[in-house]
Amino acid sequence: MNREKNIQLSHVLYRVTDLYEAVKKLTDAGFTVEYGTVPEKAYNAFIWFEKGIFIEIYENPGLSRFTKWFMKIAGYQPILDRMKKWESFSNGWCEWSLESSEENLKEEKELFANNKIPYRFHKAKRVDKDKRKLKWELLIPNDIVFPFIMSAYVPNPKPKNIKHPNGAEGVKLLRIGKDFLDKSLLDKLLIDQRGIEFVNGRGLQTVILLNSNLRIEEIVH
């Protein structure tokens, strides 16, 4: 598999405590923001760009005690641990991810299995604001410091001819903490790392936009 073409940086998650307030602030700052589904049911929203990384604004909808209990006994404790990590951010960057250009993660699953790296696999779906049924696959490493991996959306929901009134044209750079990050595994998956600057710390530190000095964390706080 040609991983340079197959795996790329996918999207970044910014956790908020009030999705609607965050969307208003971002819209006022000149971003075009799209809710993940009809606004009254949404727990996330997206800032799309014509190319490359997109931004997900995420408000944790919360899980019932029964759901958490069921996930735990079903062996999904690592996913609960990752969600707990996200919940530790009131307003802040909580995750980054990788994405395959393929509609399945067969070869990525084989890579993890061959290297004896534990993970959980999930087939995801949602209905977007245009009532399209989107499907994709998720490979979620037990190691919550390592990014999760998703397949390509089916169908592709990215709008065409995206223009933001503030002039932002994309994501230029991710500053990512190198502490506890399995860099050898990342090197096997992501050949082209030109969009990343590794710094001291843990997890995603900040996101630098292309043709804009705006910072999401300064708008939504």
Q: Round the average pLDDT of the chain to a whole number and report it.
A: 92
Check residues 62 and 43 and name the one with the higher pLDDT: 43
Site of tokens 């990512």? 176
CATH, range 3-219: 3.10.180.10
Angle of CA points 165, 168, 170, to nearest 5° = 135
Q: What is the Cα Rg of the chain in Å? A: 17
Concatenating the DSSP letter of every residue in 3-70 gives HHHHEEEEEEEEE-S-HHHHHHHHHHTT---EESS-GGG-SEEEE--SSS-EEEEE------HHHHHH
- pLDDT tens-digit map of 80-124: 889 889 988 889 999 999 999 999 999 999 999 999 999 999 999
- pLDDT tens-digit map of 160-210: 889 999 999 999 999 999 999 999 999 999 999 999 999 999 999 999 999
- C-alpha–C-alpha distance, residues 205 and 92, integer Å: 9
Site of tokens 């990014």? 147
